[in-house]
Amino acid sequence: MANSMARSFLQVAATEEVASPLRVVQIEGLVILKIIKHCKEFSPALVTGQLLGLDVGSVLEVTNCFPFPIREEDEEIEADGANYQLEMMRCLREVNVDNNTVGWYQSTILGSYQTVELIETFMNYQENIRRCVCIIYDPSRSNQGVLALKALKLSDSFMELYRANNFTGEKLREKNLSWVDIFEEIPIQVSNSALISAFMTELESDTPVKQCDYDRLQLSTKPYMERNVEFLIECMDDLSMEQQKFQFYYRSLSRQQAQQQAWLQKRRTENMARKAAGEEPLPEEDPSNPIFKPIPEPSRLESFLVTNQIANYCNQINGVAGQNFNRLYLMKSLHDN
């Protein structure tokens, strides 16, 4: 009986160690307001902050947050920033507020967040936190009438490759990893307490809104579209430079293979002559020869990130263009009537 109870306890412990996949990021409305306020106050400068909450099953609850000081290159200032985080979490713990770190938030400009620095930050968080997310907020896109808020995490297959630091074409084909598999977007669910929900219901007016919101019919989105196109052109130039690296690599590889074949043919001819003279043949491989030194393949990580960024800009341009067409058709109908 004791053995069966011990076995059942071990089985339960083993099943608890297998974490369920993250399905939803549940954020309180007050946390979203704090993030928006912090990002808009310092816009266009980029800011970051800490997310606090609980990891419950397949739901990551974000119940509080606090901003980070603007970081500088000075090491002393970076140390002060780390001390600031520890002091803030200590103060929150003293007032009985959730102080478990579940990730961080950061602002971005036109969705230009897919960088190596973001991946390195994810990997640093993953060393201490099993599951964490990054909340990305884009103030410039939110000005177009869209709440540009998304929760991201790195995919498990990508993190495995990043730890091995092996982004060669062969390894990527083996793992079946493409540029769309770097980040995973987790659905966001906004939650409020019953008291806040009741208060918001009281604030709602029973009469319909009489004053029209004419800003929704604003047809000029030229600055937003121009900046998106400018960033898209820059990314295309970066992608072209990455492609030139691979072209140079393959040219060097084909040149090396041709030199190896010529060297082997010459060595085989020499060995045939040595055999005819009764001498021992020479080895057909010479590790000391520079033509047999393997040429390192450039990493495909940067090209994957640039391609991801290009897709993001294209989606933003497509979305804004679609909204503009709807407004134009609406204005045309109003004008005809």
244: how many CB neighbours lie within 10 A of its CB? 10
Give pLDDT tens digits for 117-130.
898 988 888 878 88
Residues whose CB falls within 8 Å of the CB of residue 164, separated by 6 or more in sequence, listed in order: 171
Name the percent of the chain in helix, strand, coil, to the closest 5. 55, 15, 30
Rounded to whole angstroms, how far apart are CA atoms 280 and 93? 79
Note the residue count of the chain. 337
Average pLDDT of the segment spanning 85-105: 82
pLDDT score recorded for residue 299: 85
Which phi and psi angles does 151 have, rounded to 5°? -110, 130
- Beta-bridged to residue 54, according to DSSP, are 61
Q: Which has more confidence, 227 or 221?
A: 227
pLDDT at 3 over 60: no
Residues whose CB falls within 8 Å of the CB of residue 22, separated by 6 or more in sequence, listed in order: 58, 59, 60, 131, 133, 153, 186
pLDDT score recorded for residue 71: 65
pTM of the model: 0.74
DSSP string covering 142-160: HTTT---EEEEEE-HHHHH
* CA-only gyration radius of the chain, Å: 29
Q: How would residue 213 be classed by pLDDT, with cut points 50, 70 and 90?
A: low
Burial 229-242 (b: 16+ CB within 10 A, else e): eebbeebeebbeeb
Give pLDDT tens digits for 130-140.
888 999 999 88
Burial 131-154 (b: 16+ CB within 10 A, else e): bbbbbbbbbbbbeeeeebbbbbbb
Q: What is the fold of 20-154+187-218?
A: Cytidine Deaminase; domain 2 (3.40.140)
Average pLDDT of the segment spanning 230-251: 90
Where do the domains of the chain lie?
A: 20-154+187-218, 233-336
Rounded to whole angstroms, how far apart are CA atoms 26 and 189? 5
pLDDT at 246 over 50: yes
Q: Which has more confidence, 34 or 293?
A: 34
Cα torsion at 28, 33, 35, 38 (round to 10°)?
-160
Average pLDDT of the segment spanning 141-156: 84
Residues whose CB falls within 8 Å of the CB of residue 9, separated by 6 or more in sequence, listed in order: none
Rounded to whole angstroms, how far apart are CA atoms 317 and 224? 9
DSSP string covering 110-176: TT---SHHHHHHHHHHHTT-SS-EEEEE-HHHHTTT---EEEEEE-HHHHHHHHHT---HHHHHHHT
